[in-house]
Amino acid sequence: MKLSFRWYGKDDPVKISYIRQIPNMYSIVTAVYDVPVGEIWSHESIAQLKDEVEKAGLRFDVIESVPVHEDIKLGLPSRDRYIENYKENIRRLSKAGVKCICYNFMPVFDWTRTQLDKTLPDGSTALVYYKDQLQKMDPLKGELSLPGWDASYTKDQLANIFEAYSKVDDEKLWSHLEYFLKEIIPVAEKCDVRMAIHPDDPPWPIFGLPRIITNEKNLDRFLKLVDSEYNGLTFCTGSLGSGSFNDIVRMVDKYSAMGRIHFMHIRNVKLLDDGSFEESAHYSPCGSLDVVEIVKVLYKNKFQGYVRPDHGRMIWGETGRPGYGLYDRALGAMYLTGIWETLVKTDSK
């Protein structure tokens, strides 16, 4: 298990020197953020980022993420230009030492929550997804500014994109994903970079947009589109675990045994009766997922990929990017390390 930590660069309130102080920390998960989606990352930007990470005593080998341009997901004629750019980004990152690239294929919106600062019983605040709140939201009114929502679109642009997606059902999105994979995976193989798709979050359609990386059946289908070890998963326990229909421990066991999980995002969620959910502390009793059992099956299958504590609460008065504070994610990192160390020592007796 290679412990890693998400860092948003110089604009991140969390200092990289603080991340380095978390015991057992192996690598930084980051990206170039000053390039428009779909364009090629400059050698200089990549080199500068690599230098910052390595000066802090950490490894620069995981990128999250290289975003997929909307034209690729829509299957527009312009997609080929953006796919060629994507291939070049893989090549450039490989030369810089990157071994794993996380990306997603979610139309328009990334991970979606309805509230940033829900106060939990212990006084901490967390990201939550309440279905009744979502039903009152209309993305076309331009009133939304939550994490996961792309604020780069104007109101008119967003309306045009929604109109384009009205012609894209699940099967067309699958077709567009297959086209993309058949272009990029051969490049990833040649460059020795493992591509790791992130599941849809939450794992069901929102606002009428299709979502397909949502459950075991669809993960099986995805892995067969291009049956290569370089075509793998970022297995996010919180994203897939937000759906009560997903058996997370069994799925982690299955895909890690296959060698198709390249990156683990481990976090916990508390599922509510109406299908809503609240993000919680990593500690297993705080949520609906058994984090101990998740780590146990990774250990059993000799998982050697990357793991990061995903999304934390805001605790101890910390402010900054919701879900990405230092303190709770550091606690999560140590919880995961403690479980792993216990398994190693127990196994050696």
- Into how many domains does the chain fold? 1
Q: Which amino acid is at 82?
A: Y
Q: Is 265 labeled as catalytic in the residue annotation? A: yes
Active-site annotation holder among 61, 265, 286, 299: 265
pLDDT score of 105: 97
We report the CATH number of the domain holding residue 133 as 3.20.20.150
Give me the sign of the Cα torsion angle 151, 152, 157, 158: negative
Domain that holds residue 28: 2-348
pLDDT at 148: 56
Catalytic residue among 100, 102, 191, 236: 236
What pLDDT shows up at residue 144? Answer: 56
69 belongs to the catalytic site: no
Is 282 among the residues known to form the active site?
Answer: no
In tens digits, what is the pLDDT along the chain, a chain of 349 residues? 999 999 999 899 999 999 999 999 999 999 999 899 999 999 999 999 999 999 999 999 999 999 999 999 999 999 999 999 999 999 999 999 999 999 999 999 888 899 989 999 999 999 999 999 988 888 887 655 555 555 667 778 888 999 999 999 999 999 999 999 999 999 999 999 999 999 999 999 998 999 999 999 999 999 999 999 999 999 999 999 999 999 999 999 999 999 999 999 999 999 999 999 999 999 999 999 999 999 999 999 999 999 999 999 999 999 999 999 999 999 999 999 999 999 999 988 7
Distance between CA atoms of 247 and 168, rounded to whole angstroms? Answer: 29
Give the single-character DSSP code of 139.
G
φ, ψ for residue 148 (rounded to 5)?
Answer: 100, -15
198, 253, 282, 335: the catalytic one is: 198
What's the pLDDT score for residue 149?
58
Tokens of 285: 């009793």
Does 236 participate in catalysis according to the annotation? yes
